[in-house]
Amino acid sequence: MFSCVRLRLFHILRDGPQTAETLAGRLSLTIAATRCLLAAAASLRLVESRGASRFGLGALGAAIVGNPDIGAMVEHHALLYADLQDPVALLRGEIHTTSIGQFWSYARSNRADDASAAEVAAYSSLMSLSQAMLADDIIDAYSFARHRCLLDVGGGEGGFLASVAARAPKLRLLLFDLPAVAARAAERFAACGIADRAEAIGGDFRRDALPGDADVACLLRVLHDHDDRTAMDILRAVHRALQPGGTLLVGEPMSDDKGTDPVGPAYFGFYLLAMGSGRPLRPGEIVELLKMAGFGAIQRRSTRQPMLTRLIVSRRL
């Protein structure tokens, strides 16, 4: 998939099926190498054979063309592949500086809230693309229209809140993230025309109090990025911030869950290992963390793409 994206194969095939010989010239590959790539891509349903000698877009290749965010996420994995050159050394903790870890290094700093706009730009933009791919799944699984004020903790550039705003026009929206990231979210809110009801607040959730006016909060792809102690600190901070009886949504890929593609734990396990922070969490582990932080009435909600995100809903006791 990475090779196809890097070579822009899907964009070339967007114009219609082509022969391996024609594609070889456009990809600057030998015919043998092109056939090897096409056979591999066909096995993943990225391309498909059209007759005896031509290839066209497969269902998944067409999806990548239709959603440029997916291609950007795939390109990003060049960093992960570099870190996996010696996976045994990575497992043994013998590699102390990784490409993925450097990409997000500011977040583990003791003064993360001092990170500059330039430092947060690349990672923040990538996570915004990731949010766009799971926002509709979460909103379809849980209706925010019943609530008054939603707090998105670690909400990045505000992509999720912008999606919620379109579905719940009366909902007040709060975002909390590092100051440089929150500034990017504020710009997005203004561009989307929701700045009158969406506020981005800067701070470090490891030290700073969260805004306390929300009756619903969400943690999307946050807990698994941190060690268990930090995850618990975050949950307790959300518990303190929520109104009595308030609702918390935890949305992220979860390990070893029914309906989850078995590749999920393998992928996220090694990705987070390379990042140097966090680990895949099983739904039962998240439930226990929620209980320890003072949440109850815990429910699991199904989503369309469980490998990207599962959803657990709880209430502040």
Q: What pTM, to 2 d.p., does this model score? A: 0.84
Give start-end residues of each CATH 1.10.10.10 domain in the chain.
Answer: 2-66
Mean pLDDT (whole number) for 114-126: 68
Look at residue 193 and tell me whether its pLDDT is greater than 60: yes
Look at residue 122 and tell me whether its pLDDT is greater than 80: no
Q: Just give the CATH number of 72-316.
A: 3.40.50.150
Question: Which amino acid is residue 192, in one-letter code?
Answer: C
Mean pLDDT (whole number) for 92-111: 78
Look at residue 149 and tell me whether its pLDDT is greater than 70: yes
- The pLDDT of residue 17: 95
Mean pLDDT over the full length of the chain: 90
The fraction of the chain above a pLDDT of 90, given in percent, is 68
The rounded Cα 183 to chain-centroid distance in angstroms is 20
Task: Encode 287-308: b = buried (16+ Cβ within 10 Å), e = exposed.
Answer: bebbeebebeebebeebeebbb
Look at residue 142 and tell me whether its pLDDT is greater than 70: yes
pLDDT digit string, tens, across residues 254-267: 876 565 566 777 88
> Which tokens sit at 68?
């440029």
Mean pLDDT (whole number) for 199-206: 92
**Lowest-confidence pick of 3-12, 237-246, 266-275:** 266-275
Between strands 54-57 and 198-202, the pairing is: unpaired
Let me know if 192 is exposed, middle or buried by CB neighbors in 10 A (0-12, 13-18, 19+). Answer: middle
Look at residue 209 and tell me whether its pLDDT is greater than 90: yes
Whether domain 2-66 has CATH 3.30.70.1230? no
- The pLDDT of residue 268: 87
CA distance 90 to 274: 7
Q: What are phi and psi of 279, to 5 degrees?
A: -165, 155
Residue 310: strand, helix, or coil: strand
Look at residue 187 and tell me whether its pLDDT is greater than 70: yes
- Please report which confidence band the pLDDT of residue 301 belongs to, taking 50, 70 and 90 as the band edges: very high
Look at residue 285 and tell me whether its pLDDT is greater than 80: yes
Give start-end residues of each CATH 3.40.50.150 domain in the chain.
Answer: 72-316
Look at residue 116 and tell me whether its pLDDT is greater than 70: no
Full 3-state SS string of 123-176: HHHHHHHHHHHHHHHHHHHCCCCCCCEEEEECCCCCHHHHHHHHHCCCCEEEEE
- The pLDDT of residue 238: 97
- The pLDDT of residue 26: 96
